Structure 1
Amino acid sequence: MATMRDKHSDGCGNIHASQGKSSHDMTGGFEDHSMPAPTSMKPLYLDLPTVAATVSLSAASVQKLVRENQFPKPRMLSGRRVAWLTREIEEWAEERPISDLIPPPNTGHNNRRRRSTSS
């Protein structure tokens, strides 16, 4: 038979097993300190579309740079799945030389003048 020290109520009528590291909180329930608080963690691995977006290149350009040994190679995650270590992508980006060129103006298709098609 469990003692009161082994089980506690969460204040909603539910009984939970105590792991011995509980403390009484201000609301009359117990607060469990045995599990670390969830933290936000950046991903360890990135897939090809995410890598391409992260470094502002197309997926084809990333693959070409990998073939030319100018970009980190992906790691095998399983038999048919590869991904890049986030740390290696960040290091590669930091190693890029500083450019003297200014960014070009927006050259997207939306800025081009449309030909008028008069009959």
Structure 2
Amino acid sequence: MNTIAIQPRFVAKDAAAQLLAMSIKTFERGVQKGEIPKPRQLSAGRVGWLVSELDEWAQSRPVSEILPPANTGAKKPRKPQECAA
């Protein structure tokens, strides 16, 4: 049996945001402002984003001169709890 890897043509909102390495809220704001490609109608009650349009948008982004901040989502270390004796 042969296995064929198929790349999706469309992705849902959460996957589209993840593909662009941003939060869903940031993604939604970008779509609402027209800064990020709008979804396509897939059926009467379903929309999706074309992966090719998201890739094209990502490639069009300018090169950054700044590095990401130190707080890139990693869990913060917890302070040791004091023991009550």
TM-score by length of 1: 0.60
Gapped regions of structure 1 (runs ≥ 5): 1-36
Structure index of larger Rg: 1
Q: 2:50 aligns with which of 74, 82, 85?
A: 85
Written as runs of structure 1 = structure 2, the 5 A alignment for 1:41-60 is 41-60=6-25
C-alpha deviation, 1:115, in angstroms: 6.4
> Equivalents in 1 of 2:36, 2:55: separation in Å?
11
- Quote the residue 1:100 is aligned against: 65
Instruction: Give the number of the structure whose residues are more often helix, by fraction.
Output: 2
What's the CA shift string for 1:47-102, capped at 9, x where partnerless? Answer: 11110111111111111101101000000001110000010000000011110111
SS of structure 2 residue aligned to 1:76 = strand
Report how many residues are paired: 83
Q: 1:111 aligns with which of 76, 80, 83?
A: 76
Between the aligned residues of both structures, percent identity stands at 33
* Greater relative CO (CA pairs within 8 A, separation 6+): 2
Instruction: Give the number of the structure whose residues are more often strand, by fraction.
Output: 1
> Equivalents in 2 of 1:108, 1:118: separation in Å?
29
TM-score by length of 2: 0.81
SS of structure 1 residue aligned to 2:6 = coil
